[in-house]
Amino acid sequence: DTGVSQDPRHKITKRGQNVTFRCDPISEHNRLYWYRQTLGQGPEFLTYFQNEAQLEKSRLLSDRFSAERPKGSFSTLEIQRTEQGDSAMYLCASSLRTGGFEQYFGPGTRLTVT
Amino acid sequence: GQQVMQIPQYQHVQEGEDFTTYCNSSTTLSNIQWYKQRPGGHPVFLIQLVKSGEVKKQKRLTFQFGEAKKNSSLHITATQTTDVGTYFCAGLSSGGYQKVTFGIGTKLQVIP
């Protein structure tokens, strides 16, 4: 399977705990995006990378959120001191830098904070 | 910052009826992309429009990009139950880091 993969698919954690999600993009894609999606809403942009460089981070994102893409391949998204409001689907997508930047999404990681 | 509005938010149609969703950007776009998300699934890329006034068809789906490259529409002819899902438009900004901004989506329910 050469699509975007995400791990884990589901995560239940207690408020205050830290969580980390991983995304493996399509291998030749140099852009990688993180989104958050809650029920009935569109994907909300969090951040994106071009190769290993983080080009933009949403102003809505608190300092508790951090993302890395150290070698320009897979990426991790960490949420520190989770809150109940962090419960959502976290989607990763990748695209080529050239062309129309159409994005290919992974299956997402569903986070539930209790 | 760039905003992408989409209407309606929900639409129920009888199977066989037509359906249209509209997308409007606050800024001129490099391109507009459309995605479909089935219930419980993730967004799947459908198509991309680049040129002013462009019209593209995929079977029963017709996509249009406005002359000013700020609005777009998706029209489905004779809906089927397989069309159920949420349709998102996403606009690629021109200039800068060329970021894609998603609309809120239109959730389509098709009544058999």
DSSP string, chain A: --S-EEE-SEEEE-TT--EEEEEE--TT--EEEEEEE-TTSPPEEEEEEETTEEEEE-TT--TTEEEE-TTSS-EEEEE-S--GGG-EEEEEEEE-SSTT---EE---EEEEE-
Structure tokens at B112: 């058999």
Q: State residue A21's pLDDT score.
A: 98
Q: Would you tell me how many other CB atoms lie within 10 Å of the CB of residue B48?
A: 19
**Over the stretch A13-70, which tens digit does the pLDDT of each residue have?**
999 999 999 999 998 898 999 999 998 888 998 999 999 999 888 887 778 999 999 8
Contacts of A107 in chain B (CB under 8 A): 41-42
Is residue A82 a contact partner of residue A18, using CB atoms and an 8 Å limit?
yes
Rounded-to-10 torsion of CA A36, B5, B18, B38: 0
Q: State residue A99's pLDDT score.
A: 66
- More confident of the two residues B100 and B80: B80
**Over the stretch B10-43, which tens digit does the pLDDT of each residue have?**
999 999 999 999 999 999 999 999 999 999 899 9
Q: State residue B2's pLDDT score.
A: 76
Q: Using CB atoms, which residue from B42, B45, B104 is nearest to A41?
A: B104
Q: Is the pLDDT confidence value at B96 over 70?
A: no
Å between A95 CA and nearest CA of chain B: 11
Distance in angstroms (rounded) separating the CA atoms of residues B80 and B67: 30
Å between B40 CA and nearest CA of chain A: 9
Q: Is B13 on the interface with A (CB under 8 A)?
A: no
Cβ of A55 within 8 Å of Cβ of B33? The answer is: no
Q: State residue A14's pLDDT score.
A: 97
Q: Which amino acid is at B16?
A: G
Model confidence band, residue A1 (pLDDT cutoffs 50, 70, 90): low
Q: B111 vs B16, B30, B37, B41, B81, CA distance in Å?
A: 9, 36, 18, 20, 7
